[in-house]
Each structure stands twice: as C-alpha cells, then as structure tokens.
Structure 1
C-alpha cells in the first residue's frame, strides 16, 4: 500500500494545500458584489481624468517654452 502524504490521516498530519483551498473558498464566498458606478461617480472620474490631461498639456507647453528660450539665449549669446 502506497503512503499518501497529502491527506490528513489518524496521525493528524497537516495538509497545507487543503487549508489553502478552504481559505480561498471562504474569501471568494465572502467577497461583496461590486455595485455599478452611479452617474455622479462616472462624471467625477471623467472630470479627474480631464484635469490630469490638462496638467500634462500645460506641463508640455511650459517645457517647450523653456527649451525655446534656452535655445534662443544660446543663439543670441
């Protein structure tokens, strides 16, 4: 008879794989269902995304002005 080291026998052997499976089943079962975002939440997310895009464009414009200013200063020097 082959020794089965993965099952919990009368000696009280610990089975870590079985415990992990039970823990995952418990966590997945206990996870709350995600609700669909409301119109207000969607609008706020869009406004935040638009605000960050404006900041990027503003930063690029400032960087371009600085580079152009440095180039002009070097040429006229």
Structure 2
C-alpha cells in the first residue's frame, strides 16, 4: 500500500519546496499602488518642461 504523504525532510529538493511554500492561512500583502509614483513622475515632467521653457525664453 503506497503512502501519499511525502516527508519534506526526505531530500534537499523537497525540503526547499516545503520551506519556501507560503502558509495556507497566511494573508498576502496587498500590491502597492502605482498612483503616487505616476503622480510624482507627472509633476517632475511638468517642472522640467517649465524650466526648459524658462531657459529657452530667457
């Protein structure tokens, strides 16, 4: 009769898969929003465009 339970300490590969597997009940961290990054990039682009325009007209 075969036993379906595999002991994770049976070999290194099985142990690493066991050790790096996420826990079943553990909550995952929500993905960070990219909106602040996009907003900061837009502000930087507008400021750079204004500086370039000011230098071109000076």
TM above 0.5, one fold?
Answer: yes
Unaligned runs of 5+ in 2: 1-10
* CA RMSD after TM alignment: 2.3
The one of the two structures with greater contact order (alpha-carbon pairs below 8 A, sep at least 6) is 2
For the pair 1:62 / 2:47, whether they are aligned, the reply is yes
Residue correspondence of structure 1 range 36-51 to structure 2 within 5 A: 37=28, 41-42=30-31, 45-46=32-33, 49-51=34-36
Unaligned runs of 5+ in 1: 1-21
**Count of residues paired in the alignment:** 46
Q: Tell me by how many angstroms 1:69 deviates.
A: 0.4
More helix by percentage = 1
Distance 1:23 1:29 in 2: 10
Distance 2:22 2:54 in 1: 55
